[in-house]
A and B are shown apart, each in its own frame.
Chain A
Amino acid sequence: MIDVLQSIIPTALFFSAPLIFTALGGVFSERSGVVNIGLEGLMVMGAFVGIVFNLTFADALGGWTPWISIIVATFVGAIFSIIHAVASVSFRADQVVSGVAINFLALGLGVYLTKQWYGKGQTEMVSQPFFSNDIPFLSDIPIIGPMFFKGVYTTSYIAILFAVIAWYILYKTPFGLRLRSVGEHPMAADTNGINVYKMRYIAVIISGALGGLGGSVFALTIASNFSHSTIVGQGFISLAAVIFGKWHPLGALGAALFFGLAQSLSVVSSSVPFLASVPDIFLLIAPYVLTILALAGFIGRADAPKANGVPYIKGTR
């Protein structure tokens, strides 16, 4: 049993990390009342920028390359998401349509530029991806050490840390209260002197930054190159994690970890006695079935922010 956990948990951790970052982005955006279907596109952008930057500067920056790559991808993700913010906040466009536009645009742009710059449909593999490592001292703890601290990616722990920080920002700071109030009742927030548009802009840009970060972490820990099929569906899984986690940062963290766990369980199950008889397919669909059940209200009520998806028009009631 311990053996099984020791093989499941590290894989679940690295699988979840990109989902956690992106889902946190989704939480910020949706908490402020802007639906963000564009998470997938933001991840594509992040993955593309992360890989291109890494390939270009690997020789100059050496071991620091992956870290600087994800920072650059974060910035580009933030800038890219401004398109979504302008369309859905200032121009009050349908937020779902705008999100879909982001998805198309990111993939089109990424693949187009890859072809222009590298002359083929996919990039080379990067020479400086993230590598897993053992955390000193902690990995020597019996049982728990190998489970959580041996052969892990630092990015996985940064993701978990980010979730806690996001929770603190959203629930313990005035900024977070304002951001949430804008998503629940923008008019009330507006009458209290909160600039609804500004808050929503900030929230969408944060979601872009985190989406870009998630995409680049995926690319640099898992895929190692960029092609049209590098990001296929991870953004939507993150969106599902936002909903399954009830629009709460720690909930989204739990949901993303659970998705990772289910994924690695479906692979490991063949070597686990009591799971061997369960067909893979059930474990594979478990996260999605649970998301649907959560939405259908079986697992407590999933309360979406009240003004989620509704553009705010100043002065209307």
Chain B
Amino acid sequence: MRKNWTLLLALLLSVGMVLAACGGGADKEEETKDADKGEEETTTDFKVAMVTDIGGVDDKSFNQSAWEGLKAWGEEHGIEEKKGFDYAQSNDKADYMPNLTRLIRDEYNMIFAIGFELKEDLNKVAKQYPDTHFAIVDDVVEQDNVASINFKEHQGSFLVGVAAAMKTKTNKVGFVGGVDSPLISKFESGFIAGVKSVNPDIEVDVQYAESFGAADKGKVIASNMYNNDIDVIYHASGGTGNGVFNEAKDLKKNDPDRDIWVIGVDRDQHEEGQIGDHNVTLTSMVKRVDVAVHDLSNKAMNGEHHGGEVLEYGLEEDAINVATTNEDAMTQDIIDAVEDWKEKILSGDIEVPKTREETEKFLEAL
């Protein structure tokens, strides 16, 4: 008797797994079909594809942005979707490998892996298929046929730092980081440098949640920061930032006259800041993955490959942006100031620091 129930439990467990996996099944079949069709009717000889991470192609973040870049590339060259460019959706980490190999078998010349999560799988695949060209976003894969796309987040962070410094009335601003790592310290360093460049007397409080998914921790940190008279918080912390937005909106809801702001990251987080008729999102540091994908596709089409190189996209390429959606908050003088500093960065007058040591030197030189 007892054994039977253990069996039932095992069954229950597997139902959970199957359900989670199921979601992908239908889509994938569809995609495979579409991809096959594409192969038959190809008009150009150059084909580009991308593999999303588990966020999916409509994640309103870098996957979606990358796909928009591919679509723009296709439009530029009059190539139709599915025929010369396509994407493969990953619903699970286990999908990365099959998605990559499927696209290779479908003879795509250039394949983008979107996000650092694909690093290990791409590393294996790139070794097996030395004739296909790959690119990875947000990480570095050291293979001769893989180009690594990185962004100069410190530049964008510097500019939102300028905006924060112009906006603060209390002369105190905050930075909430996800996990203390070389990537996030680029954000931190750029932000601090930007703030201090405008006014060296402004205090910057830096806190790390040590997680990209801890909304509760983000909320506690934000609550503490706003309590301590900090009025602008820049977050570079993924899902943890939801807690920051949540706290800011809560305070704004209770006291609409209070001037508190959040600066979003990666994409324009205007929508997250909406509370009634107000919006707490001052601006966002936008990473234009689409620009990078579009650009690299063009280069690859012209036979210019950057395998084994780390490509850094920044202000020069228009791949880093500062959002100006919140017109009430981003007043003209702030936008002008941001533009001024942008010019200085572009002309090379200032070198934005990207590590803590460089920040120290930068601040001493001020």
Q: A residues engaging B (CB < 8 A)?
A: 6-7, 10-11, 14-15, 83, 87, 91-94, 97-98, 100-101, 104-109, 111-112, 115-116, 119-122, 125, 129, 131-134, 151, 218, 221-225, 227, 229-230, 232, 234, 263-264, 267-268, 270-271
Contact = CB atoms under 8 A, between A and B. Distances in A.
B219 A7 contact: no
A133 B251 CA distance: 9
Contact of A129 (B55, B239, B246): B246
A104 B12 CA distance: 9
Most A CB within 10 A of own CB, among B212, B216, B271: B216
B194 interface: no
Given A7-B224, A125-B245, A267-B224, A14 B219 contact: yes
B8 A105 contact: no
Interface of B: 2, 5-6, 8-9, 12-13, 15-20, 22-23, 54-56, 58-60, 91, 205, 207, 212-217, 219-221, 223-224, 227-228, 239, 242-243, 245-246, 250-251, 253-254, 271-272
For the residues of A in contact with B, the DSSP-based class is helix
B16 A222 contact: no
A132 B242 contact: no
Contacts of A101: 9, 12-13, 16
A224 B18 CA distance: 27
Contact of B220 (A92, A225, A267): A267
A147 to B, nearest CB: 12
Given A91-B8, A120-B56, A125 B20 contact: no
Given A101-B9, A105-B12, A264-B220, A7 B228 contact: yes
Most A CB within 10 A of own CB, among B17, B56, B214, B224: B224
18 contacts: A6-B227, A7-B228, A15-B216, A93-B8, A97-B6, A104-B13, A105-B19, A115-B23, A115-B56, A116-B23, A120-B56, A120-B59, A122-B59, A222-B215, A223-B216, A223-B242, A225-B242, A263-B220
Contacts of A108: 15-20
Given A151-B254, A271-B228, A121 B19 contact: no
B7 to A, nearest CB: 10
A99 to B, nearest CB: 10
A20 B220 CA distance: 17
B55 A121 contact: yes
Contact of A92 (B5, B17, B58): B5
A121 B205 CA distance: 32
A227 B239 contact: yes
A125 B13 contact: no
